[in-house]
Amino acid sequence: MKWVNSLGLAVVLCLVACGCGQGDLRDYESVGPSAELLLPSLGLGFNPFFVLGPNDPPFTVLNLLACYTREVSGPRSATEGFRILCALVNRYFGDWERLVIIERLQRGGWVATGFIAVAVTPDGIKGVTNLGVNGPDAGQWVATTHPRVFAVDRAKFESCLVELDKFRQNAIWRPLLWYSYRDFPVYFVHDMKVNRKSSRDDWILTTSAFALCGWAVLPDGDRERLLKGPRDYARAEEILSKYHPWQDYDVGSEADKELRKAGATYASLLSLVWECTLGRPDYAVLGVDPLAPPPAKSASGLEQGRGHSGAPTAPGPGSP
């Protein structure tokens, strides 16, 4: 009961902080595109491609569906961070034209949703996050129940939008690259764009999305080359088109090798979007163990992604 009370209080405080807590909450209404349009991009209709570890038992489709439900869809909808995010999308950003969101669903014994949400509006670019730096190092993060506004570097964010547009041109429908490292977060990237000049036959709202979970643990040199290398979205789409979601593939197999190549493209894009919005990296995106000690020294810019190449904890059967 205490948990329910604190959750309700967090949501109400968020509504108040967003300027929509005045008066009777029964009068609460969504505004802008959030009120006019259905937002399928915030749903969890992802197509998971599972790569399992050598100690994982073989899974049927029902097993994989149960894992996805238990590890992702069920816990995510119950987290305070996700509910705060929904309240913000409904009210705070108002008449937005484009909305880019990263969700960071923490796993490994506890569940919490951190988020970065940045909207392009007629009043400028607005950014909100509930993530706080975890410890003295700038590359590890923890979700909080206190959303905060942050300044967005316009030039960096616009360069990020250009890259997301390239991804849109070669994106298959909502892929989730799922690898069996239990302590790594699941990342969801949502990109929503409103087409004000759409014809009757055009979609008013266009969306693209992808997700990653425990993609890889890389040596520092490989991590640096990944950040600086070109992103071949057409090749990533070609690879994913060869394989089928809701099936498990073994570590070391040809499918694993190719799916990691596709994952490298998406991980590099995720890392770019993260830094172009929040301004600092998240080491776990590119394979630094989130439970490992932080790097001895923090780098700057994209090279911050190099960090510490710690090894992940052993995969568990509960996280394919």
pLDDT tens-place string over residues 227-268? 777 889 999 999 999 998 888 888 888 998 899 889 899 999
Residue 187 lies in a domain: yes
Residue 311 lies in a domain: no
Instruction: Report the distance separating Cα 57 and Cα 180, nearest Å.
Output: 12
Residue 14 lies in a domain: no
The confidence score (pLDDT) of residue 109 equals 65
**Residues 210, 174 contacting (CB under 8 angstroms):** yes
Residue 213 lies in a domain: yes
**Residues 132, 144 contacting (CB under 8 angstroms):** yes
pLDDT at 2 > cutoff 80: no
Across 53-161, the runs of DSSP E, i.e. the strands, are 98-106, 112-121, 124-133, 141-150
User: 64: which 2 tokens?
Assistant: 């994989």
The domain tally of the chain equals 1
Residue 249 lies in a domain: yes
What is the DSSP code (8-state) at residue 1? -
pLDDT band at 121 (very low <50, low <70, confident <90, very high): very high
**Residues 189, 101 contacting (CB under 8 angstroms):** yes
User: 38: which 2 tokens?
Assistant: 């259905």
Q: How many CB atoms lie within 10 A of CB 266?
A: 25
Alpha-helix runs per DSSP H in 204-296: 220-228, 233-242, 254-277
- Domain of 265 in residue numbering reads as 47-305
User: 146: which 2 tokens?
Assistant: 């206190």
Q: What is the pTM of this model?
A: 0.80
Across 134-233, the runs of DSSP E, i.e. the strands, are 141-150, 175-179, 186-194, 205-213
Mean pLDDT, the chain, integer: 77
